[in-house]
Amino acid sequence: MNCNNNCKKKYLSSKWFNDLICKSNLAEISKIRGCLIFKPYGLEIWNQIKNKLNYLLKKTGHDNYYFPLLIPITDFNKEYNHIKGFSKECAIVTHRRLNIKNKQIFIDRNSKLKNELIIRPTSEAIIWNSLKQWINSYRDLPILLNQWSNIIRWEMRPRFLLRNSEFLLQEGHTVHSSKQEAISHSIKILNLYKDFIEKILSIPVIKGKKTPKEKFAGAKTTYCLESVLLDGKALQIATSHFLGQNFSKSFDVKYLNQNGIYERPWGTSWGISTRLLGALVFTHSDEYGLILPPKIAPIQIVIISIIKQIEDNKIIDKFVKKLIVCFKKNKIRFVYDNRKKYTPGWKFNEYDMKGVPIRITIGKNELQKGLIEIFRRDNRKKKHIKIISLKKKITYLLKNIQNNIFLKALFVKNKYTKKIDDYKKFKFFFNSFHSNGHSNGHSNGGLIYSYWDGSKESENKIKEDTSASIICIPSKTKSNKSHVGNCIYSKKLSKQRVIFAKCY
C-alpha cells in the first residue's frame, strides 16, 4: 500500500469507502434514510454469490421458498425474546389506503388495520406459523428451507453497505426431530459458509459463537464468522443459530414421533446478506479501487486494444475473435472494451477501480512478435507473455490471484490480531490514536484476544471503557488451545480467551 502521507488520510476513511462504492457502480445512498440503491455491478456480484451459494444449499438438501413480506404483529409477538430484540427497529404498516383532496394526499384514517403488520426484519415468525400446518409426524422431518429476500431493520446508525435499513438476505430455516441433529446442522452450515467465504470471496474468517448478550434474539446459541476489515474494525460475516425449541414452543409446533408420542421439534436459522459486498470492498481494496477475487468477479478478464493506426484495428480484432472463442469455451467471464471515445489510460483506471483481476492489452507491434501484455490487478504487475502459452497462463493466474488475495487479507488479519492481558494496555490500545494513522481520532484497534470471566457485567464495563465488544468466543482449534487465565477486567478465573474488537 504505497500511498504517500498526503493520501493516507483519505485512503480507508469513511469518505474514501463511500466514494469507492459509488464510483465502482456497486451502490448509491438513497434519499430514504438508511436505504440504498444497488447498482448493476453490485447486483452482478451479489448474483454471483447468490448462484454459487444457492447451488451449495440445494446440494445439501435445501429448497427455496418465498414467504410474505408482512408479518402480523400478533404472530411476531409470540416469541418473546425474538420480538424484544427486534422491537426497536421495525417498519410498521398501520393503514392501507390514501385519500386525495384538492390534490393533497393524506392517509385514510378509515383504512386503519385491526392487526398491524411488520415488514420482516427476518422470517422466523412467519415461517414457524406455516411449519405448524406442515409438520405432523416424524416423517415430515427434517424440513430444510431457504429464502432469498429483502428485509427491513430500522438501523439507528446506518453505515453504507455494511449496516443498512433495507438489505438483501439469504435466510435458511430448518426443523429437526432431535436436539443433536439441529445443533449439528447449524454447525454444518457455519462450516459451509466458512468454506464459501474463504474460498470464493477470499475473506479469512474466525469461527466462534456469540456471548449471550450478543446472540440472535430468540436463539439458544448463535454461531458466527467474523472478519477484520482494512481499517481494523471487525465485521460479522455470517451467523448460524441453534433455536432450541423456542419457536416450536411459541408457535405450538408438535410432531408425532416413532413411538406415537407428541414431541416439539428443534430449529435452526442462518443467513448471509448484501453486507458481504461491503466486506469484499473493505477487505480487498487498495488506493486504485476494488480488488475482486476471480471466482466472484463479474468480469474476470478485460481485453483492451491499443490502436495507433486505423490499420491496427483489423489485425487486433481478428486476434481478439480467436481469444473470445477460447474464453467462451473455458467459461471465462470477459469484456472486450474497444470503445473509441475513451483512451486506453482511461480504461485502465476504470477497470482498476472495478477490481477486474486480469487485464490483457493488445497492440499491433507486440502481436506481430507473438506477445501480449498481461496485468494482474492484485499485485499490479505487468508482463509480456507468449500468445501460445496464454491459455495455460490464464488458468494459472486466475487460481494464483484468487489465492494471493486471500493471503494478503490473511496478512492484514494477522497484523491486526494481538493478545493482551493487561487492562491498561487494553484500554490504551482501543482508545489511543493508533500508529496505523488511517483513522481520524480514536484507533479502530483490531482483534484482541483476552481472557473474560463470562459475566455480562464485565462485558458491559469493557464496552463502556473502550467501545470494544466481544465479537466472538472462538472455536477451539489446534492452534488455539484453551488455557486458563484471569479476566482482563475482573481478574476472575477465565477458561479461554475471547475476541474483543470495535465492530460495524
The DSSP element (H or E) to which 237 belongs, if any, is strand 234-244
CB of 61 to its own copies, least distance (A): 12
CB of 352 to its own copies, least distance (A): 21
Binding to its own copies by residue 335, rule CB under 8 A? Answer: no
Binding to its own copies by residue 107, rule CB under 8 A? Answer: yes
Site for its own copies in 119-148 (CB under 8 A): 119, 126, 129-130
Angle between helix 275-284 and helix 40-59 axes, rounded to 10 deg = 110
Return the residue of 96, 314, 321, 419 that touches its own copies, per CB under 8 A: 96
Binding to its own copies by residue 340, rule CB under 8 A? Answer: no
Within 8 A by CB and 6+ apart from 369, the residues are none
DSSP 164-200: -SEEEEEEEEEEESSHHHHHHHHHHHHHHHHHHHHHT
Binding to its own copies by residue 1, rule CB under 8 A? Answer: no
Contact window for its own copies (CB under 8 A) among 85-93, 189-197, 287-295, 433-441: 85-93
DSSP strands (E only) in 245-380 = 255-256, 262-263, 266-273, 301-306, 334-337, 358-363, 371-376
Binding to its own copies by residue 411, rule CB under 8 A? Answer: no
CB of 293 to its own copies, least distance (A): 21
Nearer to its own copies, 81 or 496 (CB): 81
CB of 378 to its own copies, least distance (A): 27
CB of 67 to its own copies, least distance (A): 5
Nearer to its own copies, 139 or 213 (CB): 139
CB of 248 to its own copies, least distance (A): 18
CB of 210 to its own copies, least distance (A): 22
Q: Measured between alpha carbons, how far is residue 389 from residues 224, 305, 478 in Å? A: 44, 19, 42
The pairing of strands 63-64 and 143-152 is parallel
Residue 174's nearest CA partner among 76, 248, 69, 71 is: 248
Question: Residue 97 phi/psi, 5° resolution?
Answer: -155, 140
Helices (H), 311-362: 312-329, 344-353
Binding to its own copies by residue 350, rule CB under 8 A? Answer: no
CB of 255 to its own copies, least distance (A): 18
Site for its own copies in 234-253 (CB under 8 A): none
Within 8 A by CB and 6+ apart from 300, the residues are 294, 332, 333, 334, 356, 357, 358, 398
Q: Measured between alpha carbons, how far is residue 403 from residues 50, 324, 397 in Å? A: 21, 25, 10
Binding to its own copies by residue 105, rule CB under 8 A? Answer: yes
Cell numbers for 308, please give them: 495507433
Site for its own copies in 144-173 (CB under 8 A): 149-150, 152, 154, 166, 168
Task: Classify residue 335 by burial, with Cβ atoms within 10 Å: 0-12, 13-18, 19+.
Answer: middle
Cell numbers for 307, please give them: 490502436
Return the residue of 91, 315, 320, 335 that touches its own copies, per CB under 8 A: 91
Binding to its own copies by residue 89, rule CB under 8 A? Answer: yes
Binding to its own copies by residue 324, rule CB under 8 A? Answer: no
Cell numbers for 142, please give them: 427434517
Binding to its own copies by residue 328, rule CB under 8 A? Answer: no
Binding to its own copies by residue 93, rule CB under 8 A? Answer: yes
CB of 500 to its own copies, least distance (A): 30
User: Under a CB-based contact definition with an 8 Å cutoff, are residues 127 and 67 in contact?
Assistant: yes
CA dihedral for 458, 243, 222, 487, sign (positive or negative): positive
Binding to its own copies by residue 39, rule CB under 8 A? Answer: yes
User: Under a CB-based contact definition with an 8 Å cutoff, are residues 27 and 160 in contact?
Assistant: yes
Residue 358's nearest CA partner among 406, 407, 387, 396 is: 396
Q: How many whole angstroms from its chain centre is CA 305? A: 35
Return the residue of 95, 249, 380, 382 that touches its own copies, per CB under 8 A: 95
CB of 28 to its own copies, least distance (A): 8
Number of residues that bind its own copies (CB under 8 A): 59
Nearer to its own copies, 65 or 428 (CB): 65
Binding to its own copies by residue 7, rule CB under 8 A? Answer: no
Nearer to its own copies, 115 or 309 (CB): 115
Q: How far apart are CA 106 and CA 99, in angstroms?
A: 5
Return the residue of 117, 141, 182, 253 that touches its own copies, per CB under 8 A: 117
Return the residue of 7, 23, 55, 99 that touches its own copies, per CB under 8 A: 99
Within 8 A by CB and 6+ apart from 467, the residues are 430, 442, 502
Return the residue of 40, 212, 370, 437 that touches its own copies, per CB under 8 A: 40
Binding to its own copies by residue 343, rule CB under 8 A? Answer: no
Return the residue of 1, 7, 37, 325 that touches its own copies, per CB under 8 A: 37
Binding to its own copies by residue 98, rule CB under 8 A? Answer: yes
Binding to its own copies by residue 317, rule CB under 8 A? Answer: no
Q: Name the site residues for its own copies (rule: CB under 8 A).
A: 28, 30-32, 35-40, 43-44, 63-73, 75-77, 80, 83-84, 87-100, 103, 105, 107, 116-119, 126, 129-130, 149-150, 152, 154, 166, 168
